[in-house]
Homo-oligomer: A and B are copies of this chain.
Amino acid sequence: MAQIDLSIVIPIAILAGLGFAGILARDVLRRETGSDGMREIADAIRQGARAFLRRQYKTIAFIAAILAVLFAVALGLQRGLVLGLETAGAFALGATFSALSGYIGMHISIRSNVRSAAGSLKSFNDALVTALRGGAVSGLAIVSMSLAGVTLLYYGYGALGAAANPTTYNTCIATGLFTAAQCTAQAAEDTIILSIVGFGFGASLVALFAQLGGGIFTKAADVGADLVGKVEAGIPEDDPRNPAVIADLVGDNVGDCAGRGADLFESTAAENIGAMVLGVVLFQYFGVAGIIFPLVARGLGVIACIVGVLVVRAREDEAPMSALNRGYIVTSVLAALFFGFAAWAMLQPTLPTTSGGLTWAYYWMCGIVGMLTAVAYVWITQYYTEARYRPVKEIASASETGPATNIISGFSVGLEATAIPALVVSIAILASYWLGETTGIPRGGIYGTAIATMGMLSTAAYILAMDTFGPIVDNGAGIIEMSGMSETARKNMDKLDAAGNTTKALTKGYAVGSAALAAFLLFNAFLTEAHVNSVDLSHPETFIGAFMGAALVFLFSAYAIRAVGRAAWSIIKDVRDQFRENRGIMAGTSKPDYGRTVDIATRGALKEMVVPGILAVATPLAVGLIFRFVKITYIAGMPIPAGEPLGGFLMVGTIAGVLMALVLNTGGGAWDNAKKFIEAGNLGGKGSSTHKAAVVGDTVGDPFKDTAGPSLHILVKLLSTITLVIAPLLI
């Protein structure tokens, strides 16, 4: 069968995604905003979040601009001016779009919160649909923009004309199978893709800083508000007398919405680019179709997600998770079917293969493997973090003997929770590689793992909608609580808030799973671009690169966790000062200066995000450049390729990063739910000494699961994109 050109799907999907996001946004924004009291609180949150984002983006823009110039110059010197400028341009576009994604996600979530709360005054379904649609605006906008960015660059750079790429051309010619014209075409495609990798790096850079800054802000505000409010002043949570209470609600938006938005923007972008790099390698078999297949598959995924969002509608007595799951199942089934169609239409080889006419079916199965991996990760996350299973119960009963045993038990659950996910992703990689290899296409195996990653990420927009749903309903519940609304509204929002906690945990599992699966594909993209054939750990340089990669993960986690403690200190100090300066606050006669605390939290978080962020960028650069000049191992008189130690760094850093993220996310989530399990009246209930011990675990888990863990997902992908960008410097 001949290939069918489905490239038209890409612009349609982008327009459909963005258009539908716009329609949903109008729908959400037209909804009611409740009482004056509710609006007042929502306004304060909105101002705080916008002020934080503005300042954060200034800092990030400064760092990004320096890096863009550096890369343009370095790549320009090494590979010619055109490639240098193209890469720097792609970097700038990636950074801008990523920032824009975070901005849009937050823009709509800080407006959906109060509208979902207002909806809860009327009906449960109103509250749920408002929050999910608010989440879907950012989900769809983010994934569509990621697709739009790569597509624009791909066609734009193609139209500008591709510089010659002798290495790819020569490799192609050396096979003796192809004409000069065919090889020229492949070389041109490679050059285009090579400059697009800057887009992925720009996206990851912004995502890392966004998640770090937002994550530090949100947890510092949380810990600070709790320690000085609950412990020192003895006022309850979310009490309007606490000057840090608005900062706490702002944190949900800038940490979870903007952070995870940038994270998944970057995931989809990096994975698309990585798969396209490998598509070039299979150019002889699939031509341009193999390169743009990732874009088409992503586009069809966006359409599946639109349908999924539309079908969600909850009965008044329904558990919110069951309504949300219905949408997820519809999205997944549609995505699987679309995926099969795209594979059938596009992955028809032009050269004979051992799998013959069924080649597309093998790759479709790879996509299914990826989707199953997503389901497995979601399930495993539930097992380790929900109170109905053994691990959380164990932590809760360990709390009976005090905080120390609670910590020991929770930490051991976090460590344990790495084994099965590691096994699942290993099986997924092996299965998809084997399926791809069975087609008989050279390097078809690695393309199989690329397609599995696409399958896993095909439902990303829906997952992102569920994720953003979390902070929206969390905020909504806070607004209802602070403005003293009716019991029914409070019940409705509490139910949604609990579901929001679940969706946030699940999407974190999904994000780390996709990072793990994408890793192997991104390694191979790096090896292809750095002209490295093997990453041999028996070479001392490579072993040391690997050692440094793992050590970076540990050091980065140390800084991310510590940052929260430091930033929390500045908030504690400010709250104490406000209480002292204005006695009317505690008496309830005058209002605290919420803005001042937000401002201080902002400054603290931005200051603390710089060191770990720079560390993440500087270490791979240092390892890459040092081993470009330090030559130790010689094989047959030739030093090993300069990119090999960096390959070891990347691979082992990724392994360590994924495992550490699992420990921190799962440990944190399990501690959180062990506390909630006790608060639900078990083992002595709220206020008992068991509960107090569990609160310690919950507080320890906060920076684990909301700052360091999610930042590690991004670190892992940033390592992949930065190594791809510097790959040409190592040839």
Chain A contact residues, CB within 8 Å of chain B: 223, 227, 231, 398, 401-405, 407-409, 411-416, 418-419, 422-423, 425-426, 429-430, 433-434, 437, 445, 449, 520, 523-524, 527, 533-538, 540-541, 543-544, 546-548, 550-551, 554-555, 557-559, 561-562, 564-565, 568, 572, 630, 632-633, 647-648, 651-652, 655-656, 659, 663, 695-696, 699-700, 703
Contacts and interface: CB of A to CB of B under 8 A. Distances in A.
A633 B449 CA distance: 13
Contacts of A433: 540, 632
A550 B656 contact: yes
Contact of A546 (B398, B404, B652, B695): B652
B404 A696 contact: yes
Given A412-B562, A546-B651, A551 B445 contact: no
Contacts of A632: 430, 433-434, 437, 445
- 4 tightest CB-CB pairs across the interface, nearest first? A415-B558, A404-B699, A422-B551, A416-B558
A445 to B, nearest CB: 7
A655 B561 contact: no
B407 A407 contact: yes
Contacts of A562: 408-409, 412, 416
A520 B535 contact: no
A437 B635 CA distance: 12
Contacts of A564: 408
Given A415-B558, A418-B551, A652-B652, 13 more contacts: A227-B401, A227-B405, A402-B696, A407-B700, A409-B565, A411-B700, A418-B554, A418-B555, A520-B543, A535-B538, A546-B652, A554-B659, A655-B656
A512 B388 CA distance: 39
Contact of A703 (B408, B422, B535, B699): B408
Instruction: Name which of A426, A541, A559, A564 has the most chain B CB atoms within 10 A of its CB.
Output: A426
A558 B412 contact: yes
A429 B655 contact: no
A548 B426 contact: yes
Instruction: Name which of A429, A540, A548 has the most chain B CB atoms within 10 A of its CB.
Output: A540
Given A696-B696, A700-B407, A541 B430 contact: yes
Given A534-B536, A565-B405, A696-B696, A415 B652 contact: no
A345 to B, nearest CB: 28
Contacts of A429: 540, 543-544
Contacts of A416: 554-555, 558-559, 562
A709 to B, nearest CB: 13
A605 to B, nearest CB: 16
Contacts of A561: 408, 411-412, 415
Nearest to A425: B547
A538 B429 CA distance: 12
Given A227-B402, A409-B562, A555 B419 contact: yes
Nearest to A632: B434
A551 B652 CA distance: 12
B544 A538 contact: no
Contacts of A557: 412, 415
29 contacts: A223-B404, A404-B699, A404-B700, A407-B407, A407-B696, A408-B561, A408-B699, A408-B703, A409-B562, A411-B561, A412-B558, A412-B559, A415-B561, A416-B555, A423-B548, A429-B543, A429-B544, A430-B630, A437-B632, A535-B537, A535-B538, A537-B648, A546-B651, A546-B652, A546-B655, A550-B659, A652-B652, A652-B655, A656-B659
B546 A538 contact: no
B403 A547 contact: no
A580 to B, nearest CB: 18
Nearest to A535: B537
A656 B223 CA distance: 31
A656 B414 CA distance: 16
B403 A543 contact: no
B565 A398 contact: yes
A555 B662 CA distance: 12
Contacts of A651: 537, 543, 546
Contacts of A540: 429-430, 433, 445, 449, 520
A495 to B, nearest CB: 29
Contacts of A418: 551, 554-555
A544 B401 contact: no
